[in-house]
Structure 1
Amino acid sequence: MAKIDEDMSLEHIPLVIYNELINELNKNSNWQVLAVCVGEQLGYQWNSWLQSLEQNMNMTKTPADNLLFELNIKMCTVGILCTLLRDCELGSVLSVLHHPEPSIIIKHPSDGMECDSLDISFGQHLCLSCKANGIPPPSYQWYRNNMELQEQQSHELDIIINSCDQAGEYNCKISQVTKDGKTVNSILLTKSVFVNISRMPVVIQQQPPTFLEIKEGEDFTIKCIAHGHPKPCYQWFRDNTKLEEETSNVLYIKQFNSKYEGKYYCYISNGVNEVITQRSHIMMDLPREKAVAKIALIVANDDYENHKCLETPKNDAAKIGNLLKEIGFKVICLVNLSLEQMRNAMKVFSQVLTEGVYGLFYYAGHGFKMQENYMLAVDAPASYLRKDAICESELLAILLQNDPALLVAILDMCQTVPPKECNPDIHNEIPKVEEYKSRKNLRNLVQAYSTSSHRPSYERTNSKYGLYAMHLSKYISKNIPITKVFEEVGKSIDKQLKGTERNQIPMFALTITKPFRLTDAIYKRDPSSMLNNFNNLIAFSNKSFEISFKRTGIVAKGTISLFMEPYLNVINISVCNLEDLEVNFFNFVPIKRNNLFQATGFKQECWIHNPQICQGPLVVSISKNKTPIDATLLHIENYIPLILKSINN
């Protein structure tokens, strides 16, 4: 019932009530809601209708004043206005004109449902709604299991299910409070909806760290987070041994020492499925070493003259070389070396492997086993002897003579014995023994092999990388002790090899006495003359120059660059500004095995493998319509990396 006569015209509403009515209509743009409702009933274009109400003909008039004025003209009474406000659900405005009415629930959350329970999955929205009428308008508060849900004060509930704890009984408390907020007229409780979360498999949301270093005596924790329904159960393991009573998602270890080192993982299950987290390698954080310099020699042999050519060594060596550069190594990367070139490269490399220097040697190519491991150069004869290859003891004899702080030698090759029907003489050959000595008793030496004695090393068909290099590249640049690098490589390969590939069993041997890492920092001090000389040997940047053809007076621009990074011994030469002419390149002095290659067509460039000083200059010839018109000599020895002069002497 209205507080005043329902037949009263709007202009006769008492001033106090009128002003309160205007204030409520102006709140939250309530006047617009009423105006749209009136406009629809009168057939108005409501956009222009609203704009006309907002036009301020009098600075003291608000849109609500204008609206009531228009309604008054149209003979609207208090009773009609109350009906309009009730239709618009503007209870707060209606309460100005109308006596309080107790709340009545007109819609429960379970209305329209077959039963009062609801099954829902993780990631889905839970949407519930209720509705009540009353004057003043009621307020809403949603509950789960009689616990108030924060920020859920609308008649609609919309939340995302992302936790098992969200299952339970949902209902809404509807309260009606007087306008002064002091008196509670009524409190109603809706019917409940019981939410069940569908069974969901365990999904790991957060893995434990892959590697973690802990100082001795410190406490540490590792954790994982998983979701699923029912709620997941956790069980921690170390090196496949169950850790009793460690059944939460957080593993806590007090006063760490070496006995706690190992691989930790968590087994998680919930009756729907079971999963295992990734292994977390926990290690003792030992004092860090520093290097005077870090140098690597990388050799890839794949284009053999008398043996099956290989597919992956070139890619393997480039990947390893680039990863070593990322962690601060100076890298000599060379491809397809003869026996003499391999020895020369090792000698150049050994000169800088002095005290305090970390050295790494990586070889990918053909190899064999005859008491020792032998690396096969690209010019090895079809029926080779041991003297036609470089054995591991010779390699170490060369590289250890100046006592580097650390030497890592990696042989990515087969270790099978040459068959007697192909190499009968090698089985009768008396091997030459290479003795390698060191004033430091060969400490801090790591020898790693892609496979073990008398076993093959595989390339997969259509694979860019060999098996060993593929897994070595995962760990060689990680900030972990060098011993752990090769442990992880072996385990990683063993997990993936199947069938005959399981004949490839990586191995390594070491005499490490310090916690070396390939990521160790380098001393910030003036480099020695030896290191400066070495840096000059491997330094290279693209160079441009002019090429003059005297007979025709033509001057072209030439550029020398590396043909394929990071290899230093394949040089690309290109000529510009001769678009209408054909350019050809020739060796001034022919060599036994051609090392100059040129693209077909009018591409004016060539590349040279192992350019040798003894070959003399390069002949650059120009033709027009296939008729030679001029030629000149290009002395490329002035532009190639200096190390090529050393290994090709």
Structure 2
Amino acid sequence: MSIDSLNEEVLRRLSKMLDNATCGWRQLASAVSEVPKFCYSERELTSCSLQVLSAAGSPGRTLLARLADRSCSLDFLLHCLRKIDHQEAVQYLTTVVAQLIQITVQPQSQQATLGGRVVLICRATGPPGLSYQWFKGKEEILDETGSTPELILCPLAQVHQGHYICRVNHGENVVFSQWAQVRCIVSAGCSSSLFPGAESGLRITRQPQSQAVSEGDTLLLECHAEANPPAQYEWYHNTIPLKQSKTQTLKIPCVTTANRGQYRCKVLNLYHTAWSDTATVTIGPSSITETSWVEVDRGPDSQEIHRSGVGPYPLQQMSKSTSTKHFYATDKVALLIGNMNYVYHTQLCAPIADVHELSNLLRQMNFKVVSLLDLNWQEMHSAVTEFLLLLDKGVYGLLYFAGHGYENFGNSFMVPIDAPASYTSEHCLCVQNILTRMQEKETGLNVFLLDMCRKRNPNDDVIVQPGLLKVTANIVFGYATCVDAEAYEVKRKDVSNGIFISFLKKRVCEDEKVTVMLDRVAEDMGHCKITKGRQALELRSNLSERRSLTDHIQTFECSASQSARNLQWAVAHDLPESRCLQFECGVKVQLGFAGEFSNIMVIYTRILEQPKEIVSCSAQLTDFPEDVDIDLKKSNQETLLEAGSCMLIDDSPASPEAPSLYTRVQSLQRLRGELTFTICLHYTYANMDDEVQERQSVTIGKPLVSKLNLHKLRPPCASSYSSFSYDSFNPSECSSLSSDAWSYKSKADLSRSVNVPEETDGSEFFDAPKPLVASKSLPLSQASETNYKFSDMYGFHSH
């Protein structure tokens, strides 16, 4: 059972217990983070803490709601409450959960021939430690199956005839099942009271058998019954009915790990119902199902060459020995590109929100993430080259692209923002070429998530021949749409999401094989009314191992390549240190920095001190170099939203003790020299109408991705040291973390940090910190509503 099963009164009382500083919701958030999908970013925790500003707000209630959204079970919640030693909450929740016993499978009346076999089944959900008691009439059944969910009567005798009931216990809480009658018959049929003279009956003659199969194999389960009238069949997987399976044989082609578990068949006719035995199915990771193999070289000019071998295990043993194998990554890196502001093509809205949300989710799974917006052809080529430098043997590499795209002759092409109106493959990047370069690094997993159109490009009739792909069995392609179809984004007033990310963000942190996770995303999209017939996820994969995006990182030694990789990644996330500037008039100004994306930075100015004779004062930024992109209408704004940052909203009124102005600097990848700008201080003295100005020039070096010089051409075989000079770079200053109240908190937490501006308490600067509240993107529940229309939505058109 999940947290959703608790009523509002229980949640309210539990939240009240968690709203304390010593042993409360913050400690619970830390405890639940042992499972990757329950890891919460600092921004999300800040959002919880800001609930105290509302009279009815509760940080604990907000955290419980977030856990419910991610399907947290009550068992796991109890485990975490015990872990933080919150005795009051444990005792209360244990009592509540004990009252939530629900019988999910009721025992059914049955009849069978003497000497036959009858199984009565009662299953219940509830708190851990449920116990079962079977009774015949008023007498408790004390044999070995009398205290289990399945009561077995075999061989069936006259003494077994009667009425049975099951009692489910948890402490003092008790729930009874319905009554089930067992009757003995001499032959396969018995007289029917409804149709005298006719014989009716039901007897299962062939039970489904437990078995072990490998991923990619076909699963066959059979259940046969003798019945009059003829029987109907209903198959169940882990107590969930399989609606499409209504025959004696259950056939599942190409099984995955999602198909493991327990299977039962419900057999019924007009008068009777019976349940089959439980068949347990285990799924092994290997597709080799035989103990020996023969390899035959069938080249066009070669003769057959036989190489034989004997496998070390038969199928059953192999499944047991390999199904528990854990996979590790030597590192995990991701490149996320979102192109929106095209020069010659339709403008898009969703990539900024999609890249932002996916960045945060991947960081929770310890990915090193480089997130870039609006790249031209040269910058995309350079970014991919830098991404490849982060890869090495055993590394998990993930590439996500959102923007215009197309597919010709089986090759996918990502369109840069400067592509001409009639672009061809020479103006774009071929994804398959990137894959061949990734394979040269001997990566452990290659994942491509392409959120773009796959329509054919009529302007391009060139058949691109990518490099020869190696047989690596570690490649996954997740296409947001099918071949020759478009991908869409949902337009809203505040922020837009692509259809793909709207569903992917609910599943991407699941601890499942990548292909299983994407299959579930495809199923979710299939249930959405507005996407039916328009957009459907397509999955292509040759992944043969159960590798997941949540796999842990395990390095046995710190190699030179790993050190270079970490340094290279740190360079792309190097923020300037916060500094304080003293003006001649006595005003002291704080200058701070935050990375919204790897190529977008927010700069803020804050007045820390001002003489009493100065009645009004503000510090504005101006004179930025032409390389970077500054929207003058949105610079020096009082809130982040007004400054153009829709990922984080500062909705508090400006504090007179600490007024702040925000300026958003975009396109840092095009910065050719150090970033220099001017702080212009505007102030007015008491009893004076004229405004006075002071100016100071500030140079902050090359922040974030600008150090990588993505605007420069890359040599065919770029080395790890081609992009920047170590002489001018101090690794100890990679991230100005501790001194900047707006930058990341610590180097150890860098991979988990949210890619948004974020304030610490900063009590030394002002008394009342401004609360920062994340804006909401399209939730999955809203994506399923029919009030969203595709009119006025831009598809990711290919031209």
> Are 2:476 and 1:472 equivalent residues in the alignment?
no
Following the alignment from structure 1 to structure 2, what is the Cα–Cα distance between the partners of residues 457 and 355?
34
Residues 142-541 of structure 1: matches in 2 within 5 Å? 163=176, 165=178, 235-237=234-236, 240-242=244-246, 261=260, 283-284=283-284, 285=323, 287-371=325-409, 372-418=411-457, 426-427=459-460, 430=462, 433=464, 435-437=466-468, 440-462=470-492, 464-498=496-530, 501-539=532-570, 540=573
Structure-1 residue corresponding to 2:746:
none
> Are 2:708 and 1:645 equivalent residues in the alignment?
yes
Question: Could you report, residue by residue, the CA deviation over 1:378-408 in whole angstroms, capped at 9, with x for unpaired residues?
Answer: 3334443333221223332443332212211
- Name the aligned partner's letter for residue 332 of structure 1: V
CA drift of 1:577 comes to 1.9
CA drift of 1:574 comes to 1.2
- Name the aligned partner's letter for residue 376 of structure 1: V
Structure-1 residue corresponding to 2:693:
629
Contact map agreement 1:613 1:637 (CA 8 A) in 2? no
Larger CA deviation: 513-522 vs 403-412:
513-522
- Structure 1 residues 622 and 468, CA gap change in structure 2 (3 angstroms): same
1 or 2, which has the higher strand percentage?
Answer: 1
- Structure 1 residues 377 and 260, CA gap change in structure 2 (3 angstroms): closer
Following the alignment from structure 1 to structure 2, what is the Cα–Cα distance between the partners of residues 553 and 160?
72
CA drift of 1:507 comes to 1.3
- Structure 1 residues 322 and 546, CA gap change in structure 2 (3 angstroms): closer
Structure-2 residue corresponding to 1:598:
635
Structure-1 residue corresponding to 2:622:
586
CA drift of 1:311 comes to 2.7
> Aligned with 1:614: secondary structure?
coil
- Name the aligned partner's letter for residue 582 of structure 1: S
CA drift of 1:434 comes to 5.5
- Name the aligned partner's letter for residue 384 of structure 1: Y
Structure-2 residue corresponding to 1:618:
677
CA drift of 1:292 comes to 1.0
Contact map agreement 2:630 2:664 (CA 8 A) in 1? no
- Structure 1 residues 385 and 257, CA gap change in structure 2 (3 angstroms): closer
> Aligned with 2:679: secondary structure?
strand
- Structure 1 residues 269 and 411, CA gap change in structure 2 (3 angstroms): farther
Question: Could you report, residue by residue, the CA deviation over 1:320-348 in whole angstroms, capped at 9, with x for unpaired residues?
Answer: 22222222322222222222222211111
Following the alignment from structure 2 to structure 1, what is the Cα–Cα distance between the partners of residues 256 and 445?
26
- Structure 1 residues 415 and 353, CA gap change in structure 2 (3 angstroms): same
- Structure 1 residues 546 and 399, CA gap change in structure 2 (3 angstroms): same
Following the alignment from structure 2 to structure 1, what is the Cα–Cα distance between the partners of residues 581 and 325?
60
Structure-2 residue corresponding to 1:546:
579
Question: Could you report, residue by residue, the CA deviation over 1:187-210 in whole angstroms, capped at 9, with x for unpaired residues?
Answer: xxxxxxxxxxxxxxxxxxxxxxxx
> Aligned with 1:474: secondary structure?
coil
> Aligned with 2:434: secondary structure?
helix
- Name the aligned partner's letter for residue 635 of structure 1: T
Match of 2:599 among 544, 547, 569: 569
Match of 1:609 among 647, 655, 666: 666
Following the alignment from structure 2 to structure 1, what is the Cα–Cα distance between the partners of residues 406 and 682?
49
> Aligned with 2:663: secondary structure?
strand
CA drift of 1:262 comes to 8.0
Following the alignment from structure 1 to structure 2, what is the Cα–Cα distance between the partners of residues 622 and 337?
34
- Structure 1 residues 453 and 332, CA gap change in structure 2 (3 angstroms): same
CA drift of 1:553 comes to 6.6
- Name the aligned partner's letter for residue 451 of structure 1: T
- Structure 1 residues 234 and 328, CA gap change in structure 2 (3 angstroms): farther
**More contact order relative to length (CA 8 Å, sep ≥ 6):** 2
Following the alignment from structure 1 to structure 2, what is the Cα–Cα distance between the partners of residues 538 and 441?
29
- Structure 1 residues 307 and 363, CA gap change in structure 2 (3 angstroms): same
Contact map agreement 1:298 1:331 (CA 8 A) in 2? yes
> Aligned with 2:380: secondary structure?
helix
> Aligned with 2:590: secondary structure?
strand
- Structure 1 residues 548 and 321, CA gap change in structure 2 (3 angstroms): closer
- Structure 1 residues 383 and 235, CA gap change in structure 2 (3 angstroms): closer
CA drift of 1:414 comes to 1.0
Following the alignment from structure 1 to structure 2, what is the Cα–Cα distance between the partners of residues 509 and 295?
21
CA drift of 1:504 comes to 1.5
Structure-2 residue corresponding to 1:204:
none
- Name the aligned partner's letter for residue 357 of structure 2: K
For structure 1, list consecutive stretches of 5 or more residues without a partner in the other structure. Answer: 1-121, 124-143, 150-158, 168-212, 218-232, 247-255, 272-279, 421-425
Contact map agreement 2:425 2:460 (CA 8 A) in 1? no
Contact map agreement 1:235 1:266 (CA 8 A) in 2? yes
- Structure 1 residues 546 and 495, CA gap change in structure 2 (3 angstroms): closer
CA drift of 1:309 comes to 2.5
- Name the aligned partner's letter for residue 375 of structure 1: M
Contact map agreement 1:494 1:502 (CA 8 A) in 2? no
Following the alignment from structure 2 to structure 1, what is the Cα–Cα distance between the partners of residues 249 and 472?
46
- Structure 1 residues 289 and 214, CA gap change in structure 2 (3 angstroms): farther
CA drift of 1:286 comes to 5.3
Contact map agreement 2:390 2:569 (CA 8 A) in 1? no
Larger CA deviation: 305-314 vs 568-577:
305-314
- Name the aligned partner's letter for residue 473 of structure 1: K
Following the alignment from structure 1 to structure 2, what is the Cα–Cα distance between the partners of residues 368 and 558?
44
- Structure 1 residues 327 and 459, CA gap change in structure 2 (3 angstroms): same
CA drift of 1:467 comes to 1.8
> Aligned with 1:577: secondary structure?
strand
How high is the TM-score relative to the length of structure 1? Answer: 0.54
Contact map agreement 2:607 2:618 (CA 8 A) in 1? no
- Structure 1 residues 461 and 593, CA gap change in structure 2 (3 angstroms): closer
Following the alignment from structure 2 to structure 1, what is the Cα–Cα distance between the partners of residues 664 and 443?
36
> Aligned with 1:296: secondary structure?
strand
Following the alignment from structure 2 to structure 1, what is the Cα–Cα distance between the partners of residues 256 and 584?
80
Contact map agreement 2:576 2:701 (CA 8 A) in 1? no
Following the alignment from structure 2 to structure 1, what is the Cα–Cα distance between the partners of residues 618 and 385?
42
Following the alignment from structure 1 to structure 2, what is the Cα–Cα distance between the partners of residues 603 and 382?
42
> Aligned with 2:325: secondary structure?
coil
Following the alignment from structure 1 to structure 2, what is the Cα–Cα distance between the partners of residues 363 and 214?
41
- Size of the aligned set, in residue pairs, is 410
CA drift of 1:242 comes to 4.3
CA drift of 1:554 comes to 4.8
Contact map agreement 2:233 2:248 (CA 8 A) in 1? no
Following the alignment from structure 1 to structure 2, what is the Cα–Cα distance between the partners of residues 258 and 378?
40
Note the aligned Cα RMSD (angstroms): 4.4
How high is the TM-score relative to the length of structure 2? Answer: 0.44
Larger CA deviation: 541-550 vs 292-301:
541-550
> Are 2:589 and 1:556 equivalent residues in the alignment?
yes
Q: Taking every aligned residue pair, what percent have the same amino acid on both sides?
A: 21
